[in-house]
Amino acid sequence: MTKPLHLEIVTPEKVVVNETVSYVAGPGILGEFGVLPGHLPLLSALVPGKVTYQVGDKRKYAFVGGGFAEVADNKISILAESAEQLEDIDVERARRAYERARKRLSAPTPDIDIVRAEAALNRAIQRLNLVAMK
């Protein structure tokens, strides 16, 4: 019998998720990946996006702002730059970040870091897309 799968999503500030799950899907740098119990070891860089995980009969979601995922011995460890469960996403903050990044990109000045503004825009879009799923 396969051991249960354990998911841990950690940021430098806190543990965001620490649960026994039956499935996890994450935003790998080469595309979305899925993990079931008994999965072979895996290491993947993550892009900002949605982590989907199944707890019993309930599907849950979290946002990760990039980082790394490691799968080994039926444990998935996600070390994220930032992360939050769906219900903890501050929609107004994400909207403000989206507008701020869009404004910076629409009229760039020499002091604007374009790569950083594009990354902020992408993170805001990913958060807002996740909230829209509710």
Residues 123-132 have a mean pLDDT of: 88
Name the amino acid, one letter, at 93: R
| Tokens 């990039």 belong to residue | 66
Considering the domain architecture, whether residues 9 and 47 belong to the same structural domain is answered as yes
pLDDT tens digits for range 12-37 = 999 999 999 999 999 999 999 999 99
Q: Where are the beta strands (DSSP E) in 56-100?
A: 58-72, 75-80, 83-85
Using CA atoms, how far residue 86 sits from 16, 26, 66, 92, 123, in Å, is 11, 14, 16, 14, 14
Number of domains in the chain: 2
Considering the domain architecture, whether residues 11 and 73 belong to the same structural domain is answered as yes
Q: What is the CATH number of the domain that holds 96?
A: 1.20.5.440
Considering the domain architecture, whether residues 69 and 107 belong to the same structural domain is answered as no
Cα–Cα distance, 31 to 23 (Å, whole number): 17
Considering the domain architecture, whether residues 34 and 71 belong to the same structural domain is answered as yes
This prediction's pTM: 0.87
Considering the domain architecture, whether residues 33 and 82 belong to the same structural domain is answered as yes
pLDDT level of residue 129 (50, 70, 90 thresholds): confident
Residue 6 parent element (H or E): strand 5-10
pLDDT at site 130: 86
Considering the domain architecture, whether residues 49 and 109 belong to the same structural domain is answered as no
Cα–Cα distance, 98 to 21 (Å, whole number): 32
Considering the domain architecture, whether residues 17 and 69 belong to the same structural domain is answered as yes
pLDDT tens digits for range 52-81 = 999 999 999 999 999 999 999 999 999 999
Structural domain of 26: 5-86
Considering the domain architecture, whether residues 78 and 96 belong to the same structural domain is answered as no
pLDDT level of residue 92 (50, 70, 90 thresholds): very high
Considering the domain architecture, whether residues 67 and 110 belong to the same structural domain is answered as no
